Structure 1
Amino acid sequence: MKLTDERKPIAEKLIMLILIVFTLSNIWGLLLGIELNSFSRLIITALLAVGVHLLLSYPFITIITLTFTTIPMLILSNYKILGVTKVLLWLEQFIRNVVDYFNGTEQILSRNLIMFWVLITFSLCVITWFVLMKTKQAWILPVLYIPVFIYYWYIYVDVAYQMMIMFFILYFILIGSQQYVRIEKSSLNQKIHLKAGIYPNWIKTALAYGLIIVLLAAILPKGRNVVDWYWLRDQVISRYPAITDLRDDLVYGRSYGQAEIFSFSNTGFQESLELGGPVVLSDRLIMEIQSSYPFYLRGSVKSTYKNNRWEKEPTKVFNKGLNEEIPREVENGTIVELDISYVNMASFSIFTPYQPTRVYSERDGRFKYNKNYELTKISGIYKNEKYTVQAIIPNQIKHTDYNVQVNYSDGGDLVSYLQLPEELSPKITQLADEVTEGKYTPYEKAEAIRDYLRSNYSYTLEPSATPAGKEFVEYFLFEEKQGYCTYFATTMAVMLRTQGIPSRYIEGFRMPDERKNGLYEVRLDNAHAWVEAYLEPMGWITFEPTPAFAGPAVVSGSIETGGAQEEEQVRSPSSDAPTEGAMTGAEDMMEGMEGFGGTNYKASEVDPLAQFVDKMLALAPKITYILLLIGILLRATYIHFRNKSYYSKLMKDRSKSSIPSIYKNILDVLEAMGKPIKMGETPYEYTERIISKVYGNEHNLREITNIYIRMQYSREEGQKEEVEQMLNCLWFLERKLRVYWGFWKFSFKKYIKGEIIRPYNI
């Protein structure tokens, strides 16, 4: 029977395609933080791979099938225009979000993460399909995949190491299969008959050798000592001093590569894209700045307000080299310079006063800016890196000089800064009219709105969340009447626009008033939001509507500041580094496989003793791995049933020791995530300190702590609902720990070492 590569079962090819693509798609899913487990990611990868195969193998049939499936669905749904419009609008914003992400001006929004992951996985399926099905050149796969695995391993993504091992096993099976096909073709040409059933044996052999070689390479002891080549090292460091900074910091160092575009929505300061809700401050140091004065440092500029959130307006992006001059729109002002060093921060955003004119850096590179003068460095800025910003600060002029009345709504560059949501309540416009009554110039109106907000509304970090269906500004003005900077800045920007005054919403940092050791120390609780209004003839002027802060007074380049502080948090990924591995013995395996099946050996030609020794040597690794695997499975089974028995006993017993036992396990999981309780810290103090970092809609740590304290210091027995609530919180934190550690490390710690869940006092 002729067995060619074309006649191999198609299922085998598809399975290989699915598993190889999954080795990378699984890593991307973890990095993007999509809410899918590994099995779900595998299923979606399989569906995408099958879809790609059908589309590329039978394009005409696939397109016809999709067409004749879509049309009846539209007909049956009575062709709902609203639904189609929603889909098209979503598609448009998704494409814009992805384009902005690759331009380095915006992060992928949370609602787009899964679709973005599907898109890049689909692209990988297409590339891998062509390699496997068309070119049949297996050597291309390591060239495509291995650099990616090494890169992610190098930046401390632990799962990349395990996925690389899986890839090598699959690759050995693939090349073993292809080697057999070549030998089979050669035997047919030479009219040599191969025994039936040898192909499955060949696959088994390739699989066995692949597993043995890869697993041996993975578990063999590895040292961290390197071979010193002093001359080469000195030459590299002398030419590229930045090499010494590589892999210096697990969270904010350049090696980790986790820089982000600055945004409140990506921090603990603002849990979601929607505005409002209570916040918890952090005083972690992130920047040190050498400057003559404290300034407002702009990080993000937004001009579109709708659905209780601010969004960026799509705008043209300009590319500049470091040290190149930025075109001015401020003519009269004072030139200042700030030396900014990142202490515990990694960001693409360059923080500058308005208006920046030049950026200097020790590292070469390029940066981008738009018409709002948002600056982003293409290669990012990381811990212990410094840049210098030169800016021109507008000089103050007399209030009477702001007397130019302009109608911007007729068109022009400023019309987008007058945008207002269609559902905006007329009560807001009416209030703005009342506040600005008797004021004739735009500047007087802006001052009146600012002073009204500062005088009639109070500052708090714990306002109520905006109720569902309520408009944010309306709720703040007429019901809540208290809030922090985003409340005041958003409200002033909206009220200015009702009066025909262009405005934009700014997020960034407000430098503290005092220096320490000659430097301004900027911390997370210095995060702030404010307003810029366009007033003729000066242009954009900064306004501070938040009552807890003294407003900026621009006088000969100085900005006077004072007052409370707010914060912005940066996510801290896992700091665990993977173990270094090495692949050995692949060449020997391939040489040993040459000619397999094409030669018949006679038993009489082999020494019986040597044959016995060879068999024992061949079986030894298999026996070792089988025993090791059995031991691991027995240990994991024991831990699984121990935990199951523990949970069952908790639900049946509900004694006073049940809830404290669960609470101790919760503390253990939080400590494993890098959030241990401090010595002398009460449970309530601990909860308030970490709640923003482990927040879950259904699992409130405050309620969990209240239940624990009541059980500890009262004679009440635990209720079934309370035990269930505690257990659900524990399982929720376990899932977060699994993402934090990675699947393999989490599984090893939980099921092999038995460290995550312990049956305390039960």
Structure 2
Amino acid sequence: MNSFKNYISLLVTYVNMLFIMRVTEKCFKIKNFSYIYFSICFGVGALIYYLFAYLPWKKIYKILLGLILIFIASLIIYYNKQYVAKLIALNIQYILTLNDSIFNGKITFFYQYKFIITIVIPLSSLLILKIGNELFSDFIIAFNLAIMLFYWYYGYVEIVKGYTFYFVLINTCTYSIHSYIDNLKKGISTLRPIVYILLFSIVLSAVQSFLPKDIEGKYYSEDGIINKISKSNIDQEDSYNLSSSGYNPTDKKLGGPVQLDSKEALKVASDKPYYLRGVAKDYYDGFSWKISEDSFKRVTNKNPIPVPNVVNESQKTYITIYPTKINTSTLFSPLNTMNIYKKSGGLYFNKDKVFLSSKVMKNEYRVEFYDSLYSSIDYINHTESGKYDNYLQLPPNIPKRVYDLVEEITKGSIDRKDKIKDIYNYLNTTFKYSLDVSEMPEGVEFLDHFLFTEKKGYCTYFATAATIMLRMINVPSRYVEGFNMSYDKDVNGLYIVSNKNAHAWSEILIDEDLDAWAILDATPSAFEEIERIEREEVERNKEDDSIESNKDNRQELEDGGGVIETNHKSVLRFNYKYSFVLLVLVFILRVLYIIFRKNKLIKCKKLIPLYIYTLKRLKDINIRIQPHEGEMEFVNNIEDEILKLKMREMVSQVFEEYYSPTKLDKKIENKKDYYYFIERYIKEKRGIWKYYIYRIFNK
């Protein structure tokens, strides 16, 4: 009974921990995760537990064994202290890297976790088995629930949802199996309850997958009372404007002298600089930019953030933004943002994918987006359906000479994409970037003044000119303000974004069907910055490929497999490694089984199970009872006198036990004697090597 319970407990614990590791792999984006290595670590912990729990030794001997093992481990560490010190330092660096990667949702690698797994998994399996077998049988269920809640709380909601079916199924099965074992202890051996419970667990798990996991409440509706009240709570008064960085407020007046400062605004944890969008405007009146309509809606499960299908999943990435000395409710984000994770407050977005919080942001927030900073304009899909007419709006006060200039610039091009490049090249090469500009004359249209009078300017000049001139060739465009990150970093590796990085640029529609937009920054200094980003991006991609290859090689070397080559022999060597690991695991489990079976036979109140086991063992050396023989007749026909004497004694006690069950011998000394006698006898007949080989690999 105890042996059966131990086997089941071991299997159930392994399956549950395997499930948690699978969820962890998905949450932390662990590449090249080795479940074989995890299984070995689990087996080590289980072996230690069962050896100490079921060895027929006195407690003092187990303590001494534990101390000896600790002493041996200490000696090994001492004589390899330099290697151990380097290993610890390396893994501290891994942990620091993991902390940043996990927080920012980046890919991590198995080799970074290997040292942690080597320590944590054996200790966890030992602890779970001890508590589960000795104190609280359903401890593994509580453990799984705690881990899943932890991942849910820290933002891995979609992954947890995806594994809810398996979570319910595994934990319901675990509970039913533990209940069945408890019933066996009470003498209830029927399998009917456990069959019912298992069927119920499957049905329950299947049904829950169809149920909504995000309940909005009975008063929710797209335009209902709650949503209307929520809209009124949005903090638009503190939304971002270039005026907070020293520029003139572009919703009131474009152009004129500015006085910028270098005060820090944000810090960003990112792999590279991005354009951080703060506000997008679509209505131009000749003097300023405004938003034509207030279309902000709260992000809910029924009203998610729409994301264009213009990039593949490999471009999905994260950045983390830390507001430092900026006071705004705007949530800055790159183009093609798909979600924003923050600690508190409502999240709102409008038709231009600008994001606001219900209150001024003081804490960091993480932005999930598709990295398509340099979306190609070689493919333009405009159906002219009227859906984007507000991005083609032009005021009546623009002088005719501006239209004539655009026609002159683009006359040599037929395709719309070539005309876009013509306008970009004209603005970028003809005019100079400068903060030293004159005051805007009253009543003068801004674009005309820039192109024909001022002929120099800063970002708002170029962004306005590009947006309006693109509209003149029928390309939907919008004016955007925010920050263009530089390469400045602090001591912790965070990008520093200051007021001098405040910027304005254009975004052009490249595909109406997909609502896909691309950045067009005609400001000369910004273009030089983009070229540098692109050059370094190419180099970074080469380095990333090399680093990833080295990481994979390093991981394989640490696993003991070496670099996997494409030739046949290397593939075979790789497979042999894992085959060997599997054989070692099977060997360990077999040894555990032999130990459990021995303890079960010796500790059993009855001698009959040991007698049946003895007959099976003797059968392995061709000493077997014939169908026509009785028990004593079989014994009397044994040729070896010593074996005959021992078997006669055992059979006599079996008869007495069978016919007089009230006189059971509760002592285990005789059983030990019989057990070890038979094993010694078989060892002498077979020889040591054959004995152990048959003992381990035979039934």
Scaled by the length of structure 2, what TM-score is found?
0.41
